[in-house]
Amino acid sequence: MTILKINNTIWIDIQNPTESDFEYLKTTFQLYPATLVEIENESASTKIEHHDNYILLVMHIPIFDQHSKSTTPQKISILATKTHMITVHTEEIVPINDFRYGCGVDKISNQCNAETAEQLLYFFLNNILSFYLRQLNHINTKITVVEEEVFQAKNQQNTLKEISIIKRDILDFRRIIKPNEHILKSLQNVEEQFFNDKQYRAYLDNLIANYDRAWNILDNYKETIESLENTNTGLLSLQINSTIKIFTLLSGVILPATFFLSFVDLAVFLELPFMFQEAHRNYLIVLTISGAIIVSFCILLKIKKIF
């Protein structure tokens, strides 16, 4: 448990809460048993609850795992009273560490200028939304790399795999942050009732604007990667069709020579009065004629501009 006094308010951060931590929260802030269950339950969905002496927010933060190349949600519970802000989480979360460092070390940072609990809550949520934008940078980097690979037309099957990974990353990110939109919009009504401060609505409007910015960037990435996927699929289909065309033409060129050799073989076998009756002894003549047939068909296809 970390306790920081910031001007006229106090921030309590609890990582990996124990039974004694829950008992402290229950007795100090008169939390309802249902609230403690929500905080303790790791599978709890996002929500906002307004009680007489506190507000509960349950949110999920998208964290990109470099090893698995996927984005996973990390739950954080936020309790806001009129004098305190309490954050509870089981794992170490980057934006919380950044916020703690800013308030504990960098005393001149804007987030430490909070005079009230509602202002501290605003700065904390705004820090999380700023983290959203930083997390999106790795998607932008990967899209840029894939774009170059697509138009270089090299190893398109591997490029298609990379596109699938990026699409999954965008999908996971959208799935994680979408419920937080409801939290931020509901907070407008709850905050006005709880803190009785109509001026705070401007802060919340700024939070929603920052959320919309992150969502619009995600939409843009989604459209971009889908366009790149369609382009890569088209180029891959063109490459496959070109390969099939080459093999088809090759079969068409060899077929007349194959027919000629079969005819000569049949003439020899049936001892027909054919000029190549002794062809099995003069194979060079047969090969020369077969080669001439192949070359003739190649020239014909070239004249017709078939390839």
The model's pLDDT over 208-250, given as tens digits with 9 standing for 90+, comes to: 888 899 899 999 999 988 888 888 777 777 677 667 767 776 7
The model's pLDDT over 254-275, given as tens digits with 9 standing for 90+, comes to 777 677 667 666 566 555 555 5
For residues 255 and 122, membership in a common domain is answered with no
State residue 80 phi and psi, 5-degree precision: -125, 120
DSSP label of 198: T
Q: Note the pLDDT of residue 283.
A: 62
For residues 138 and 85, membership in a common domain is answered with yes
For residues 153 and 166, membership in a common domain is answered with yes
CA distance 284 to 149: 49
C-alpha dihedral over 260, 263, 265, 266, to 10 degrees?
Answer: 170
> pLDDT band at residue 182, thresholds of 50, 70 and 90?
confident
Tell me the residue type at 221: Y
Domain boundaries, position 116: 2-238
Question: Could you give the angle at which helices 117-152 and 200-270 cross, rounded to 10 degrees?
Answer: 20
Q: Name every residue whose Cβ is closer than 8 Å to that of residue 234 and which is 6 or more positions away in sequence.
A: none
Structural domains in the chain (count): 2
The model's pLDDT over 69-100, given as tens digits with 9 standing for 90+, comes to 778 888 888 888 888 888 888 888 888 888 87
For residues 288 and 195, membership in a common domain is answered with no
Instruction: Quote the pTM value.
Output: 0.72
- Tokens of residue 258, six digits: 């194959």
CA proximity to 184, closest of 151, 159, 153, 206: 206
CA distance 150 to 220: 18
Q: Note the pLDDT of residue 25.
A: 82
Choosing from 206, 221, 238, the residue where a domain stops is 238
Q: Around Cβ 66, how many Cβ atoms within 10 Å?
A: 7
Domain of residue 102, CATH code:
3.30.460.20
For residues 112 and 233, membership in a common domain is answered with yes
Cα–Cα distances (Å) from 167 to 26, 142, 229, in that order, read 43, 11, 10
Choosing from 192, 222, 238, the residue where a domain stops is 238
Tell me the residue type at 279: A
Tell me the residue type at 88: V
Q: How many helices (H) and strands (E) does the chain have?
A: 7, 6
Choosing from 221, 238, 255, the residue where a domain stops is 238
